[in-house]
Structure 1
Amino acid sequence: MGRVLAIILAGGGGQRLYPLTMMRSKPSVPFGGKYRIIDFTLSNCVNTGIRRIYILTQYRSGSLNQHVFEGWNISGSRLGEFVYNVPAQQKTGTDWYRGTADALRQNLDLIEEKNVEYVLILSGDHIYKMNYQQLVDYHVKKKADLSVCAVRVPKEQAAGALGVLEIDANSRLLGFEEKPLNPKTIPGSPEYALGSMGVYIFTVGVLQKALQEPGDDFGKNIIPQMIQGNRAVFVYDFEKWNKIEDFIVQYKDGKRFSVLAKRTRDSSYWRDVGTIDSYYEANMDLIGVDPSFNLYGIKWPLRTYERNSPPSKFVLGGNATESIVSKGCIISAGTVIRSVLSPNVIVERGSVIEDTVIFEDVVIEPHAHIKKAIIDKHVHIESGASLGFDKEKDKQQGCTISETGIVVVPKQHVIKALK
């Protein structure tokens, strides 16, 4: 994959994830216990063999810069391997990035400096596993100028939420509409639409020429212009063609053994975690016996930065069921049910945590009761406090309530026991 350069767009402010993005960018929001959202895109790159990666940052990038430096410092830079954060620098004028295409336009010098044939453009804020080599092979086979990755979604879900692609029987792109209220459907599947994943691969010369045209966004401007110009633009059906090979666990006669699967169940899993509710649901996808998205693969490891924390422990009858519990947690006579705990979370006696996502270094004092919440870092839950049972009281304490009722506690907050 030495002929491919990856550019990850990680400059989004993530307003719909507020208050989780109050002090950090969306790609650096913690996810799944010990990861950050951007780790999944970076892991896909490294697992595919792509080792030349630029990350374009802009808003509230301090946390992301530190995470990439500490967790993704590829040591082979002299051999042409690197992961570099590139902050917005107003290279072409006085404006910051005005859109996805403008972010690339302002950094064309990075592409021109490298001897590459293809530029892979990725979003840093989605949860999925993808073998980008298969995408490159598809792009070459189609002799495409641009290949756009798409995921099948119910048309009602796509309406007003995703860029929607219209294709012919040969998967050639006929039209691109940005968040239409009445999306075009897939030929032969009238209940589904093809939603853009924000994953593109360009032949390098085509990208350079396309960015000479006006327009700041790929979906709204560049791609429609290429379609009108009769460029060879094709759609890669992620659900149909993406294949992740990994071991799966099976049982026979009471014995556990691993079998190599040519295509794992989560090969078709893709989630845009751009809202509080979608973020919460994606975390809950991780905790089942047979989860929709598997963190425990062997051949497709998910990498991240990890603090030096001791093992977790459960004392005085403390327990956790149907949950993910990261390093350094202490469950002391408390109960954790269907939840995701990041490192160094303390749950004291008599406290019950249900259907909740908890970030690092949270302390929950005795006899607290929490249900359907997301708790940011360094939060202190005082003895006898409750969350998720009275929305008005939760709001009084400075919490945000999502559309489906998920309670979000901001970073470094204190939750008191209200009468």
Structure 2
Amino acid sequence: MRSQPHVLGIVLAGGEGRRLYPLTKDRAKPAVPFGSSYRLIDFVLSNLVNGGYERICVLTQYKSHSLDRHISQTWWSSGFHGEFITPVPAQQRLGPRWYTGSADAIYQSLNLIFDERPDYIVVFGADHVYRMDPSQMVARHIETGAAVTVAGIRVPRAEAKAFGCIDSDDDGTITRFIEKPSDPPGTPDDPDVTFASMGNYVFTTDALVDAVRADAADPDSDHDMGGDIIPAFVSRGEAYVYDFNDNEVPGETDEDKGYWRDVGTIDAFYDAHMDLISAKPAFNLYNQRWPIRGETSHLPPAKFIGGGSANDSMVGAGCIVSGTLQSSVLSTDVVIEDGAVVQGSVLMPGVRIGRNAVVRNAILDKNVRVADDGQIGVDLDHDRETYTVSSGGIVCVAKNETIG
């Protein structure tokens, strides 16, 4: 007999991530490397596993090879107690078509639910950077008796126009769910902030199954969880908001409590990396009481030689630094040659920086080469002719490029 409710985790990992191009040129957004040793999907999977949920299906679709391989190699489970973490590609079980939206992804994967027969289903997104104990949200969901509970994070009203926004009454029942409103609603206890949807949901199983079936039969639906499924529950008074502020994670600090970032753009992705490297980081990767699990590289420790130095930076295994590193994040197996200067940049696995090269405010994807005396991020007008430059002035270079 189970002493805890039977919960199935479903992670939605099929999005293209167009705004994060060129980092998503050859991979799904959840597979994009992040923070030296991780991929974006590692954050949601770590939260679910740390919270005690180890039966997890990851629904994939877009350019999913590297994502599938990462899950299989990094998130392997013995299954001794029936646990599993498995990628599930679009299978066309209901006809020759791919997923048409996040709700359709669940509808086409109902066999997973029927096989597992959970009491509740946790449906989380795959591409946000945060810590959260989902078991606390599940407990609140059970306590309220709602059909669906939506995680909401408090953001200033002036910034809420870019999000799906939640209007609720005093007991937490959602009265409106509005996508990117011009006049976001305030929370019941603070008119100057808004509940923005985090894209994390807890469903009572029968309610979710009925909802996606009804949605599939609606020819006018976009088959989207946030755009169609949640508003349907709201219209019936069956949706509840869970305040992310109430979530308590072991080992969290005053600086990183309540941290959540949607890294859907180049600038947001860059800013989230900069959040990692201050003395008191806005997001602390070193919390061993709620660890974020990432790739095991089997590489030797990082090495600094010939006067190589790093300040306010994070350096991954296998790196060899002979130049100067300032306010940057290096993934694994990066080499910075003598005389090179790297400032305010994110370098992904296998990047090589040549002698006397200069790299500033840049994101260099896997295996990018900067030649001796090469420059990137110094002359943005010149960089725009060849590379992607964000609105915030961050230069992003795709995999395997050579910068002369």
What TM-score results when the alignment is normalised by the length of structure 2?
0.95
Match of 2:125 among 115, 123, 126: 123
Q: Is the 8 A contact 2:173 2:241 kept in 1?
A: yes
Cα distance in 2, alignment partners of residues 323 and 2 from structure 1: 43
Is 1:303 the counterpart of 2:293? The answer is yes
The code of the aligned residue for 1:229 comes to R
- Whether contact under 8 Å (1:177, 1:219) holds in the other structure is no
- Check 1:227–1:391 CA distance in 2 against 1; reply closer, same or farther (3 A cut): same
**Is 1:230 aligned with 2:237?**
yes
What is the match of residue 54 of structure 2?
51
Deviations 1:304-334 (A, max 9, x none): 12221111110111000000000000111x1
What SS does the corresponding residue of 1:83 show, helix, strand or coil? Answer: strand
Secondary structure at 2:257 match in 1:
helix
Aligned to 1:220, what secondary structure does the other structure show?
Answer: helix
Taking the TM superposition and a 5 Å limit, the aligned residue runs for 1:92-241 are: 92-159=94-161, 161-214=162-215, 215=221, 216-231=223-238, 233-239=239-245, 241=246
Structure 1 residue 208, shift from structure 2 partner: 1.1
In 2: Cα distance, 1:102 partner to 1:113 partner: 18
Mark the CA change 1:69 to 1:264 in structure 2 (over 3 Å): closer, same or farther. Answer: farther
1:244 aligns with 2:249: yes
Q: Quick check: 1:17 aligned with 2:13? A: no
Q: Distance in 2 between matches of 1:267 and 1:116?
A: 31
Q: Who is 2:218 aligned against?
A: none
For residue 408 of structure 1, report the CA deviation from its aligned partner.
0.3
Contact kept? 2:174, 2:237, Cα under 8 Å: no
CA distance in 2, matches of 1:125, 1:135: 19
Give the conservation status (yes or no) of the 8 Å contact 1:41–1:126. Answer: yes
1:357 — aligned with what?
A: 346
Native 8 Å contact 2:5 2:120 kept in 1:
no
Give the number of equivalent residue pairs: 395
Moved more, 308-317 or 174-183: 174-183
Taking structure 1 as reference, are residues 25 and 55 closer, same or farther at Cα in structure 2, changes over 3 Å only?
same
Match of 1:7 among 5, 10, 13: 10
CA–CA distance in 1 between the matches of 2:254 and 2:138?
A: 20
The residue type equivalent to 2:182 in the other structure is L
1:151·1:197 contact (CA, 8 Å) conserved in 2? yes
- Residue 271 of structure 1 aligns with an amino acid whose one-letter code is R
CA distance in structure 2 between the partners assigned to 1:313 and 1:305 by the alignment: 20
Distance 1:220 1:388 in 2: 38
Counterpart in 1 of 2:268? 278
CA distance in structure 1 between the partners assigned to 2:338 and 2:325 by the alignment = 11
Is residue 2:390 matched to residue 1:402?
yes
Identity of aligned residues (%): 44
State the distance in 1 between where 2:57 and 2:186 align.
34
TM-score w.r.t. structure 1 length?
A: 0.92
Moved more, 179-188 or 342-351: 179-188
The answer to whether the 8 A contact 1:130-1:267 is kept is no
Q: Deviations over 1:274-328 (max 9, x none)?
A: 0000000001000000001000011111111222111111011100000000000
Q: Deviations over 1:70-89 (max 9, x none)?
A: 1001112x521001110011
Q: Which residue of 1 aligns with 2:380?
A: 391
Cα offset, 1:264, TM superposition: 5.4
Aligned residues of 2:13 and 2:125 also touching (Cα < 8 A): yes
The amino acid across from 2:269 in the alignment is: Y
CA contact (8 A) 1:8 1:54 kept: yes
Tell me how far apart the structure 2 counterparts of residues 360 and 2 of structure 1 sit (CA, whole Å): 41
Report the AA paired with residue 89 of structure 1. Q
- Structure 1 unpaired stretches of 5+: 247-260
